[in-house]
Amino acid sequence: MDKKALETLLSDMSTEEKVMQLVQIPGSEYEADAEITGVERGQVKESVKRLAGSTLGIWGSKRLKKIQEQYMKEHPHHIPLMFMLDVIHGHKTVLPCPLGQGASFDPEAVRKGAAMQAKEAAADGVHATFSPMADLCRDARWGRIMESTGEDKLLNSRMAAAMVEGYQGEDLKDSAHIAACVKHFAAYGAAEGGRDYNNTELSEHTLREHYLRAYGEAIKKDPVMVMTSFNSINGIPATGNTFLMKKVLREEFGFKGVLISDWGAVGEMINHGYAEDRKDAALKGMMAGVDIDMCSGCYSAHLEELVNSGAVPMKLLDEAVLRVLNMKNELGLFEDPFRGIDTDAGPVISEESRNLAREAAAAGLVLLENKGKALPLRKEKNAFIGPYADTKRLQSSWAFSGDDENTVSLWEAALELYGPEALKTAAGCTMLDQDAVTARGQRHVDHWQEENDRLLTEAVSAAEWADTVILCLGEDSAQSGEATSKASLKLPAVQLRLLSEIKKTGKRIVTLVFTGRPLELMEVRELSDALMICWLPGTEGGHAVLDVISGKRSPSGRLPVSFPYTVGQEPLHYDIYPTGRPKPENGPFEYTSRYLDCENGALYPFGYGLSYTSFEYGGEKLSAQKMSAPESITASVKVRNTGDMRGDVTVQLYIRDVCASRVRPVRELAGFRKISLDPGAEEEVSFVINEEMLRFWTAEEKWESEAGKFLVWICDSSSAGKPLEFRLEGRA
């Protein structure tokens, strides 16, 4: 359908029809078993259900085809319904959680993963996903850090942009792709105290310099949708924030697509104290530019009245409706309301998708410690112990359309590789502490201690039999994600008890930690010979972990977030601003910026990760020591594999603007490149530094670079390397 035909359709629609195109209702209104927790069917009027423009939380080619047929039959203009779903890191084949994908430092792999997710979801009738999440996350207490790709704006920018490209492909009419939605706009990751849905308080400088960057880069890839965030920003809820949605998103970023609220966020402006009632909330959401009201009911109840009274101009309504109709048109729904669905089978997990998931999971595993070369595993007796040793729950709470039965557990993968004779397994303990079990309303709490004593006895017996214990610990998958903020970042006490008791056996301990967030690992580090972060690795998690710990491949993941010594350091990130009283490396520390009881920096910093082989950096150089605005400088380093195994390494470029009109971070990631080297092989890695890379939000509130001295590091983590120096001459 061309633009003129869309405009003709719009002009023929009643005000009620127009309004309802901006209304999204839960999938439970169409199917009782839709995957939306806590939402009962029958909460929406039949008149709204008949005309609502979109729904969410429901999938399955057979049932969606049936719903679409009935919906279009009853709709006055036979406009198709849109089906949206949270396809966050997999539909049927589940990839690692986004934080685990960030650890790969591989945007191309992330793009391929998003394309695979889109293909599976589209085959199940889904038209759009609420992904990628481009929120900058610097506080591990916030559970939704699991959905991000980390604490760095450049890494987040490249990963979010890659996901948009993967989901949408080159042509959205291609039924193997779906619409992407960049979320949550804006600064949701800066919630005060790391508490979900909480206020954020950021200067415009911090907002622009750090938090808006990844959204902006993702929007350059033309996502079909952007989602508002739940939080208020500097006292104004994002969903009613005209400055953010109109000036920044529409005018500055040039976003032309559909702006959708998060679940109920329009109505929640009442709780914020920003809207007087639901009618006022509908008015403020509409005037701020929110095109689709997700499940608050404010638009369906009051927007027509607001338009008829003149409070909301008809022109504004028409613009929003035209954007929604255009989205349906871009998806090809007017020509094919079923978007290529011609089978009831839906998506099938393929060998290709499993291989992709296996590679993605393996690439994100981060080796933190390897004392005495405890890894790779030796060909001897190995005991897999812990609550993650033999479970298929290797995906996050945001992969609810995936099926656990399709997941390969660590134990299954170990049996495939080693056979049963050289292996034993034991749970060792429950996943959660007793108070956490009680809080979740689970049964058998009265026998919790008795059960854990029995499990511990079995685990110690297995450990005494083994030469090496592979201790599989971590957060429960439901302990990270939405509404999972935590004031403690320690592993459950029952798991730490297990680790302590296994240590007493004197056996070699390889600890694998499954998590959706950074954790406090001081005690774990001290009691382990090797320590690896496995994230929530998804469908092929078992195979991926065994590929690495067995030595089939060397670990290559790098931390996309800093791991703290203690939760008291949060929010924690590497790209901090310098202080007037820095803590000296040597000498007296009194009256300097420091903790009395903890280091300032991370236990494990951003960009850190070990390998089974070793890499030597040398010959760092800049092509020039001076640069003017039209010119560029090349920074290069020679990297040699000095070990005896092939390995991948992510070479990282960091830059510091030494003196500027605003204080600049001590260093910022400016580029990264992953290379593979055979033993003894050497490669020169180069990065081009241009003037645009040196721009920042200046004291004059402009994106500009400023003349002066810059430092450059080419290294393997945010705390490594020795700086080179150049000067930028003139001003851009």
Residue at token pair 């954020």: 200
Check if the beta carbon of residue 679 is closer than 8 Å to that of residue 643: yes
- Using DSSP, state whether 559 is helix, strand or coil: coil
Residue type present at position 605: P
Residue at token pair 């359908």: 1
Check if the beta carbon of residue 140 is closer than 8 Å to that of residue 570: yes
Helices in 342-401 by DSSP H: which ranges?
351-364
Closest CA to 388 of 407, 374, 375: 407
Dihedral (C-alpha) 296, 297, 302, 304: value to the nearest 10 degrees? 120
Question: How far is it, in rounded angstroms, from Cα 529 to Cα 526?
Answer: 8
Backbone angles phi, psi at 63, to 5 degrees: -75, -35
Angle at 331 between CA 9 and CA 320, to 5 degrees: 50
**Cis preceding-peptide flag for 564 (omega within 30 of 0):** no
Question: How far is it, in rounded angstroms, from Cα 375 to Cα 361?
Answer: 18
Check if the beta carbon of residue 676 is closer than 8 Å to that of residue 648: yes
How many other CB atoms are found less than 10 A from the CB of residue 381? 17
DSSP letter for 162, please. H
Backbone angles phi, psi at 181, to 5 degrees: -135, 110
**Cis preceding-peptide flag for 186 (omega within 30 of 0):** yes
Residue type present at position 615: F
- Using DSSP, state whether 265 is helix, strand or coil: coil
Alpha carbon 162 to chain centroid, angstroms:
13
Check if the beta carbon of residue 540 is closer than 8 Å to that of residue 633: no
Please give the C-alpha separations between residue 332 and each of 50, 113, 289, 340, 415, in angstroms, as whole numbers: 21, 23, 25, 10, 47
Catalytic residue, from 139, 152, 262, 390: name it.
Answer: 262
**Interacting residues of 639 by C-beta distance below 8 A, sequence separation 6+:** 615, 616, 617, 649, 651, 675, 677, 682, 683, 684, 685
Closest CA to 107 of 601, 115, 489: 115
Question: How far is it, in rounded angstroms, from Cα 683 to Cα 675?
Answer: 8
Question: Could you give the strand order of the β-sheet that contains 293-294, starting from the edge strand earlier in sequence?
Answer: 128-129, 82-85, 54-56, 23-26, 293-294
DSSP letter for 75, please. S
Question: How far is it, in rounded angstroms, from Cα 122 to Cα 713?
Answer: 44
Question: Could you give the strand order of the β-sheet that contains 181-185, starting from the edge strand earlier in sequence?
Answer: 181-185, 225-228, 258-260
86 is known as an active-site residue = no
**Interacting residues of 48 by C-beta distance below 8 A, sequence separation 6+:** 20, 23, 25, 300
Of the CA atoms within 13 Å of residue 14, those in its CB half-sphere come to 8
Please give the biggest Cα pair distance in the chain. Answer: 79
**Interacting residues of 85 by C-beta distance below 8 A, sequence separation 6+:** 56, 57, 58, 59, 91, 121, 126, 128, 129, 130, 401
Question: How far is it, in rounded angstroms, from Cα 547 to Cα 359?
Answer: 10
Please give the C-alpha separations between residue 452 and each of 16, 449, 546, in angstroms, as whole numbers: 60, 5, 27
List active site positions: 262
